[in-house]
Structure 1
Amino acid sequence: MNTNQYPGLIPSYEHERLAALQPYQVLGTPGQEVFNDFVSIVAKLFDMPIALVSLVRADDVVFIGNEGLPEALVVDRQDSMCSVAILSDELTEFRDVVVQPCDLVNPYVAQEMNLGFYAGQALRSPEGLSLGSLCIMDHRPRQLTPLEGHLLKDLARVAQELLRLQAAQANGFTVPEGLRSRVDATVQQSLTRLSTLAALRRLDPAPESEDTRRYHESRLDEARYLAQVMHRELLAVLDK
């Protein structure tokens, strides 16, 4: 990475951050099934074509789970907005990438991908150091509502625990029987309810109607419930 051209991407705590990232380097090979499943759900929840879980390493960004992009994708750190998302505790959102591009990274990559929207939430180690991000992207400009912003933060908490779980498994941790089946059952029930709500919303031709608003809010509430259940299940296993 050209640190002279993009100095703003390197936080003052970079040495500590890279040390905190070490236990997760076992996840440096893309295509991890659990993360691909997770980001597929995230993309559906937000109705976005692209969702990613990334790790931001010293010189590059590796996507260990992705929906809507080529498999095994690794890009230079200066080419990814995930490098910007890790710099903040708050949601990083670029509502119109074409009109207001991110000036901390190479703008040409976003143009080549035909991106119009990006939102990312930093993923942190138990010590609070940024490791990567959970992000969603679209090819058109968009804007997250406050409820959607809270949902992305909730889902990022789930992604953080998935990172911990996968790293622990790589070091010999045995996942208790029943965890995957419990999580899968909750996911399937929630996705069924979400699909029903989405179908009901499509029956109303008026996008700004009160019924459409209620359907949308109910869908987000269900999605947040799903995130909270998954987070609780993972914590129960990891913090024993």
Structure 2
Amino acid sequence: MLGLSNILPLNESQRLQALRPYQLLNTMQDETFTELVRLAAKLFNVPIGIIAFVEEETVRFGLNYGLDPALDRVNRWETLCSVAMLEEGVSVYSDLHNRPCDLINPGLVRDMKLGFYAGTTLRTKDGFPLGVLCVIDYRARLFTPQEGDLLEQLGAVVMRLLDLRMHLLQQPTWNQQLWASVYERIESSVQRIETLAALASWEEQEHSEAADSYRESTRDEIARVIAVLMEQITLLTP
């Protein structure tokens, strides 16, 4: 029978202790994280992006783009995030319709008609996995090593922002303007990526020279935003 024993890390009690300070962030209405998961979804041209926190028996999807608001918490043994969290690097399930993951109860994946999943682990500085940044599609699709590298880099940005937000929550006063500048940078990149994706989709041939050029510009944009965000986070971090 499938259950939590299949997907528990060896240091589970320590991991849960490391997770506790971050759980508040999962319920906060913070536009910066909203735009960040939207950025991830738009970058990979998928309908769903999630920052998922893996709790003791459930997985929380409060920070997401593209999910039904009612689906903010699921059983831990029903979600691929529980499996992806255990991996180093990026976990990819490119065709869940024909090659499902046998470590979880398949009911949720089947009910949602999911075809693709890619997730990168979010780890604390001490190495404890808190959850994943993941992108999800209803259709099966390929995920290149280059895309995997970008998702992993974006996951590093997410973890740095989570740490920064945690620090700012503990301060009696903090610079809202500086935090807003992070949001504005992400928002402008989302808008640019949406424009590039729309231009690529208008091309009659999927791999025409122009369509490939738009996709290359999208990858360049995300590389730029990752570099800029890391620079801004460094400036904000005490």
**TM-score of the two chains, using structure 2 as the length reference:** 0.89
Q: CA deviation at 1:216?
A: 1.1
Q: Cα RMSD over matched residues?
A: 2.2
Q: Supply the distance in 2 between the matched residues of 1:98 and 1:8 (Cα, whole angstroms).
A: 22
Amino acid at match of 2:73: V
Q: Report the CA distance shift for 1:165/1:64 in structure 2 as closer, same or farther (over 3 A).
A: farther
Measure the CA separation in 2 of the matches of 1:76 and 1:198.
34
- 1:52-201 matches, within 5 Å, as 52-71=50-69, 73-172=72-171, 174-201=173-200
What's the CA shift for 1:184? Answer: 3.7
CA distance in structure 2 between the partners assigned to 1:48 and 1:18 by the alignment: 30
Residue pair 1:154, 1:228 contacting (<8 A) in 2 also? no
SS at match of 2:27: coil
Offset, 1:192? 4.3
Q: Is the 8 A contact 1:26 1:170 kept in 2?
A: no
Q: Which runs of 5+ in 2 are unaligned?
A: none
In the TM superposition, what whole-angstrom CA distance separates every residue of 1:73-111 from its partner, at most 9, and x where no partner exists? 111110111111110111011001111111111111100
Note if contact 2:38-2:190 (Cα within 8 Å) is conserved in structure 1: no
Letter in 2 for 1:65: L
> How many Å apart are 1:146 and its aligned residue?
2.1
Q: Is the 8 A contact 2:9 2:86 kept in 1?
A: yes
Deviates more, 1:174-183 or 1:129-138: 174-183
Measure the CA separation in 2 of the matches of 1:75 and 1:106.
12
Partner letter of residue 9 of structure 2? P
Structure 1 residues 29 and 193, CA, compared in 2 at 3 Å: closer, same or farther?
closer
2:58 partner amino acid = D
CA distance in 2 between counterparts of 1:111 and 1:49 reads: 17
Give the TM-score taking structure 1 as reference length: 0.89
Shift of 1:138: 0.5
Identity %: 37
Structure-2 separation of matches of 1:174 and 1:154: 30
- Pair 207,7 (structure 1): closer, same or farther in 2 beyond 3 Å: same
Q: Give the Cα separation in 1 of the matches to 2:20 and 2:100.
A: 31
When the two structures are aligned, how many residues end up with a matched partner? 237
Deviation string 1:44-70 (CA, Å, 9 cap, x unpaired) is 121111110011011111113111112
Q: Deviations over 1:126-147 (max 9, x none)?
A: 1121001100100000111222
